[in-house]
Amino acid sequence: MDALGTQIRPGVAGPAPALRYAFTIVAKVAPYVPLIGRPAEQIELIPITGGEVNGELAGEVMPGGADWCTARSDEAFQVEARYGIRTHDGHYVDVVNSGILRHLDAETGDPAQMRYFMTSPVFRTAAPELQWLTRSAFIGRAAIFDGNTSIDVYEITA
């Protein structure tokens, strides 16, 4: 039984969750800085220099954040970004966004040929009207273009 006294049966959790588009984050990034460059271990720091947020959450990406990108032996990249958003109303939202970039085109390394770039953003804020961000789970579908990283953020709904 769960905390509410409901009988729990494995494998019978109900229908798959749905996704609701919430907003888009476009983060401007500077060229990467290599942190570790050994053959079996590649880690890069990608500075976040600004950007914008549009949709149900609207504001600007604050400069000073960064994305740590680890090249893995399975040709995927593990990414973890930490940055802030200042809303148009003046509220601050802290963002921790982890994800997987499932390798670039093997021959060209072209980000346009990227096969998979999904993230799991987590938001923190003290703003009462933005608490929905702290009580919801989100998934982001990301793309890299013109020195920016764009993330369409979807709220996971039951």
Q: What's the pLDDT score for residue 11? A: 65
- Residue-wise pLDDT tens for the chain (158 aa)? 445 555 656 666 778 889 999 999 999 999 888 887 777 778 899 999 999 999 999 999 999 999 998 888 777 788 999 999 999 999 999 999 999 887 655 555 565 555 568 999 999 999 999 999 999 999 999 988 877 899 999 999 98
Q: Which fold has domain 18-157?
A: Porin (2.40.160)
- Which of 48, 30, 23, 43 lies closest to 123 in space, CA to CA? 23
Q: What's the pLDDT score for residue 146? A: 79
Q: CB within 8 A of 130, min separation 6: which ones?
A: 57, 87, 91, 93, 123
- Report field, pTM of the whole predicted structure over 0.85: no
What is the Cβ-side half-sphere exposure of residue 153, based on CA atoms within 13 angstroms? 25
Domains of the chain, residue spans: 18-157
Q: What's the pLDDT score for residue 101? A: 81
Amino acid at 43: I
